[in-house]
Chains A and B, each alone.
Chain A
Amino acid sequence: MSELSSPDNDQPLLVAEGLAKNYGRLPACRDVSFALYPGEVLAIVGESGSGKSTLLQLLSAQLAPSAGRVSYRMRDGVLRDLAELGEAERRFLFRTDWGFVHQDPAQGLRMGVSAGANVSERLMAVGWNHYGRIRDTASTWLDRVEIDVGRIDDAPKTYSGGMRQRLQIARNLVTEPRLVFMDEPTGGLDVSVQARLLDLMRNLVSELGLAAIVVTHDLAVARLLSHRVMVMKGGRVIETGLTDQVLDDPREPYTQLLVSSILPP
């Protein structure tokens, strides 16, 4: 497991306080509080309907909470309540300091435009205006995610599932974000493809000192990628702690059930 890159950074990057979301009378997420530090990878685990995807949307300001709030430390060092950011600021955050890796790459990529343009879009959005430099940077990133640079002008619809997912990662990391949200990043991929992707993500996260919040139902993904894990059930966080602690010494009945359901490697 990778280690925290900046351990002495005692200022949290993202703080959730009493987060809750109701869909009508149905509580999808209840009273979630935690702090995420720079370089820290947090896994949110639980089965379908446990509220983990709702929580991810709340944390990434894509959904307004029914109660509670999410604060984020901007690049100027000031902790800001996301609900109080203007839409322009929030969207700017989303394409510069944050990344979002979707389970389905078609949601996170522009399938009809070239891989190079997919990676470059964020650069152009923040004002890069030199084609040669944009293309060089895109090539570098394709190489970092192990995509043949010769495929730079091909559209992702011609890519395999694993390549699409790696392209999505490059598209997100090109502006060197500090926080990346991932929603089941290895879901729907073959096991061998998953292993390669996980290894790549693990290396990138530790090289770049990224903080990440990874939603997954796969405990193996949590073990390989995350420092810390939150187990969700019925919209609540029922157990939280160091990843190896929670997985090797689970306390809650539900966590024990989850852990005991893993097939041995």
Chain B
Amino acid sequence: MNAPAYNFAYLDEQTKRMIRRAILKAIAIPGYQVPFASREMPMPYGWGTGGVQVTAAILGPDDVLKVIDQGSDDTTNAISIRKFFGKTAGVATTTSTTDATVIQTRHRIPEATLHAGQVMVYQVPIPEPLRFLEPRETETRRMHALAEYGLMHVKLYEDIARFGHIATAYAYPVKVNARYVMDPSPTPKFDNPKMDNCAALQLFGAGREKRIYAIPPYTTVVSLDFEDHPFTRYRFNAPCALCGADNSYLDEIVTDDKGGRMFVCSDTDFCEQRQAAGHHGTESAAPHKEKAHV
């Protein structure tokens, strides 16, 4: 351990036990939000305090940690959390999705298929999917308890009435294990199908809101929709400018102040692996601008 002044992975053992108990309960009741005594962390709320506490509670000396922010391994947030655990736990870190045992993420699920034994840790800003329509926490908890989810469809109804289709593009509500409606955190709805029947364990931590929830491996996760307006994935209709992938989620990058832009994979590891394997994109401004459903 590099920094003996800290307990392993920063949190004291009692706190980790408390968090692990919450995690176990969350796994036992897929999609249910378990309250936990969220601690102050050495970073501001909104920077992943919930995810960091979950990661700290499950990390062991042999784990290999990957941290991504919007799919990228090299943004400030991803680097500082990776360094944080490198320093306080001394664990190995990686940018490779396949090599990692624990992947903490903000707003993306990697493109590479997750495998058994891996744990996804999601940073969650607002865990309650019903909140925007029903602000009372007492009422939303009762609605979850009684599986009264008509209100969730009100939001989708409003989308269709206003835009002609379900315009919700991220934090798209899902039903877990045919019971609890859950906010999958602000991941793009492109990633929703990856949660269904996933081999990895998925844990969600909301630090400010003091909630933990989970999707155990191989659990059914269904995106809500209407019979006549079924759920659709969504990505920019273009190949990645760097690696040429036409099935990955893309970020739009503005390249100059004259309207130039390019579309590149949001998952940097995925993109780099492809380029290393010899795939190439145009590396020029992408010709397509329109959006499409796929």
Judge A-B direct contact (beta carbons within 8 Å).
yes
Check if A113 is an interface residue, CB within 8 A of chain B: yes
Q: Which of A110, A113, A126, A152 has the most CB of B within 10 A?
A: A113
The answer to whether B153 touches A124, judged by C-beta atoms less than 8 angstroms apart, is yes
A110-B133, A116-B161 are contacts. A131–B226 as well, Cβ < 8 Å?
Answer: yes
Interface centre among B148, B158, B229 (most CB of A within 10 A): B158
Q: Tell me whether chain A's interface is mostly helix, strand or loop, or mixed.
A: helix
A120 to B228: give the CA distance in the assembly, Å.
16
A5 within 8 A of B: no
Residues of B contacting A95 with CB < 8 Å?
A: 150
A114 touches B153 (CB 8 A): no
> Main secondary structure on chain B at its contact with chain A?
helix
Interchain CB contact under 8 A, A120 and B157? yes
Q: Does B199 contact A (CB under 8 A)?
A: no
- The answer to whether A122 and B150 have CB atoms under 8 Å apart is yes
Query: What residues on A are CB-neighbors of B229 within 8 Å?
Result: 131
A residues with CB within 8 A of B: 87-88, 91, 95, 110, 113-114, 116-117, 120-126, 129-132, 134-135, 152-153
* Shortest beta-carbon contacts, A-B, top 7: A125-B150, A124-B153, A124-B150, A131-B226, A130-B227, A88-B146, A117-B154
- B228: chain A residues within 8 A (beta carbon): 130-132
Identify which of B133, B142, B146, B150 gathers the most chain A CB atoms within 10 Å of its CB. Answer: B150
Q: Is the Cβ of A121 less than 8 Å from the Cβ of B154?
A: yes
Nearest A residue (CB) for B229: A131
Q: How far is the CB of B141 from chain A (nearest CB, A)?
A: 12
List residues of B (151-194) whose CB comes within 8 Å of A's CBs.
151, 153-154, 157-158, 160-162
Interface size class of B (residues with CB under 8 A): 10 to 19
Mark B67-78 against chain A: 1 for CB-CB distance below 8 A, else 0: 000000000000
Q: Assess the A91–B148 pair: CB atoms within 8 A.
A: yes
Q: Complex formed: what's the CA distance from A134 to B226 in Å?
A: 10
Contact B157 A117 (CB under 8 A): yes
Closest to A134 in B: B157
Please, how many angstroms separate the alpha-carbon atoms of A117 and B132 in the complex? 14
B57 to chain A, nearest CB (A): 34
How far is A125 from B142 in the complex, measured between Cα atoms in Å? 14
Are A113 and B227 in touch, CB under 8 angstroms?
no
Shortest CB distance A133–B (Å): 8
Q: How many A-B residue pairs have CB under 8 A?
A: 57
* Seed contacts A114-B158, A124-B157, A131-B227; 14 additional CB < 8 Å A-B pairs: A87-B142, A110-B154, A117-B157, A124-B151, A124-B154, A125-B148, A125-B150, A129-B153, A130-B226, A130-B228, A131-B226, A131-B228, A135-B161, A153-B162
Docked pose: A116 CA to B161 CA in angstroms: 8
Q: Which residue of A lies closest to B152 (CB)?
A: A124
Q: Measured between C-beta atoms, what is the minimum distance from B136 to chain A in Å?
A: 12
Docked pose: A95 CA to B154 CA in angstroms: 15
Are A91's CB and B158's CB within 8 A?
no
Cα-based distance from A117 to B161 in the complex (angstroms): 9
Tell me the smallest distance from the CB of B144 to a CB of chain A, in Å: 12
Bound CA span A152–B160, Å: 13
A258 to B228, CA, bound (A): 56
Contacts of B161 in A (CB 8 A): 114, 116-117, 135, 152-153
B150-A126 in contact (CB<8A) = yes
20 contacts between A and B (CB under 8 A): A87-B142, A88-B146, A110-B154, A113-B133, A114-B158, A117-B157, A120-B154, A120-B157, A121-B150, A124-B153, A125-B148, A125-B150, A125-B151, A129-B153, A130-B228, A131-B228, A134-B157, A134-B226, A135-B157, A153-B162
Contacts of A132 in B (CB 8 A): 228
Per the bound structure, the CA–CA distance linking A46 and B228 in Å amounts to 50
Give min CB distance, B28 to chain A, whole Å: 21
Set of chain B residues within 8 Å of A113, measured between Cβ atoms: 133, 154, 158
Contact residues in A for B149 (Cβ distance below 8 Å): 125
